[in-house]
């Protein structure tokens, strides 16, 4: 009989990704992607963060809130392997696991004391969807968390392919300047699933309140449209 434990949501991550499409595959891949951690009322005590400001990075434990399943499979198909090869679920970072937990190492930029929301943690290098539930936060300890001799297993030979982004001015001008660098970095990292290679397909990426439409042919991504989303992701 499996034991169960209650785990409390202490905060939520706010980011510019209203859906999971386009989110970097791992944390820290795009430094200019920012987010803020907003605590639940019960945990808005600044004393709980005393000393955290002295660290450069933090670990964030969170929930794959769109991947919570009643059952689980011992094997999954990692997108990075083309979606065809099965690996053991505990040998992957797939969201489809017995406990839908994610782990991210994020750069701590600052801690702000908000008059209504209490302490807010500003982070960079995010790989979380907007409003992701957070279960815990811990400081990153370089002397023990960094393993220079670590081996990356079957993932190590896989190189991250950067795309050349063609973003015509007629569409780029619709994006607020403060979001352009991060958006173009997301596009350059190829937001498509690894198994989708159709050059005729038009994809849509929701980011910072906009739907960005694009195609990919070879190693060139071309933006072909930008439209305002009906509801901005930062509006509650």
Average pLDDT over residues 182-199: 91
**Domain assignment present for 157:** no
**Domain assignment present for 156:** no
Residue 198 three-state SS: coil
Residue 60 CB partners (closer than 8 Å, separation 6+): 13, 37, 103, 104, 105, 106, 123, 128, 134, 136, 137
Percentage with pLDDT > 70 across the chain: 94
pLDDT tens string 126-165: 999 999 999 999 999 999 999 999 998 888 766 667 999 9
140 plus 38 within the same structural domain:
yes
Last residue of a domain, one of 114, 145, 176: 145
What pLDDT was estimated at residue 234? 45
- What confidence category does residue 217 fall into, taking pLDDT thresholds of 50, 70 and 90? very high
78 plus 181 within the same structural domain:
no
**Domain assignment present for 2:** no
**Domain assignment present for 208:** yes
235 has pLDDT over 80: no
Last residue of a domain, one of 145, 172, 205: 145
Q: How confident is the prediction for the chain on average, in pLDDT?
A: 92
Question: Which stretches within the chain are classed as H helix?
Answer: 142-145, 169-172, 177-188
Last residue of a domain, one of 87, 117, 145: 145
How far CA 30 is from CA of 5, 26, 27, 52, 120, in Å, comes to: 34, 9, 8, 23, 21
203 plus 115 within the same structural domain:
no
pLDDT tens string 40-85: 999 999 999 999 999 999 999 999 987 677 788 999 988 777 778 8
What pLDDT was estimated at residue 1? 54
**Domain assignment present for 78:** yes
Distance CA 236, CA 232 (A): 9
Q: What is the CATH number of the domain that holds 35?
A: 2.40.30.70
**Domain assignment present for 54:** yes
* Side-chain-side CA neighbours of residue 22 (13 Å): 26
**Domain assignment present for 6:** no
113 plus 218 within the same structural domain:
no
52 plus 139 within the same structural domain:
yes
Residue 203 CA, chain-centre distance (Å), reads 19
Question: How many domains would you assign to the chain?
Answer: 2
Domain span at residue 94 reads 11-145
190 plus 85 within the same structural domain:
no
* Location of structure tokens 């209203």: 18
Q: What is the CATH number of the domain that holds 203?
A: 3.30.2310.20
34 plus 125 within the same structural domain:
yes
168 plus 129 within the same structural domain:
no
Of 174, 178, 157, give the one whose Cα is nearest residue 211. Answer: 174
3-state secondary structure 67-127: CCCCCCCCEECCHHHCCCCCEEHHHCCCCCCCCCEEEEEEEEEEEEEECCCEEEEEEECCC
**Domain assignment present for 22:** yes
What pLDDT was estimated at residue 81? 79
Model-level pTM? 0.91
125 plus 190 within the same structural domain:
no
What pLDDT was estimated at residue 158? 62
128 plus 28 within the same structural domain:
yes
37 plus 136 within the same structural domain:
yes
What pLDDT was estimated at residue 233? 45
49 plus 141 within the same structural domain:
yes
CB 18 within 8 A of CB 68: no
């Amino acid at each position: 009989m499996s034991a169960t434990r209650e785990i409390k949501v202490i905060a939520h991550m706010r980011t510019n990704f209203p859906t999971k499409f386009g989110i970097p595959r791992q944390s820290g891949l795009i430094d200019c992607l920012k987010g803020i951690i907003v605590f639940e009322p019960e945990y808005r005590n600044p004393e709980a963060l005393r000393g955290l400001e002295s660290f450069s990075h933090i670990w964030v434990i969170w929930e794959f809130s769109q991947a919570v399943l009643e059952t689980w499979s011992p094997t999954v198909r990692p997108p990075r392997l083309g979606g065809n090869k099965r690996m053991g679920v505990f040998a992957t970072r797939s969201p489809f696991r017995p406990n839908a937990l994610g782990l991210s190492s994020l750069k701590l930029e600052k801690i702000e004391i908000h008059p209504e929301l209490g302490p807010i943690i500003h982070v960079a290098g995010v790989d979380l969807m907007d409003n992701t539930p957070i279960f815990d936060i811990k400081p990153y300890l370089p002397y023990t968390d960094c393993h220079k001799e670590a081996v990356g297993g079957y993932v190590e030979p896989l190189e991250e392919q950067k795309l050349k982004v063609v973003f015509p001015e007629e569409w780029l001008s619709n994006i607020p300047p403060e979001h352009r660098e991060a958006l173009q970095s997301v596009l350059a990292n190829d937001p498509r699933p690894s198994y989708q290679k159709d050059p005729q397909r038009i994809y849509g990426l929701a980011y910072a309140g906009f739907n960005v439409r694009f195609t990919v042919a070879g190693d060139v991504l071309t933006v072909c449209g930008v439209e305002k989303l009906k509801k901005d992701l930062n509006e509650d």
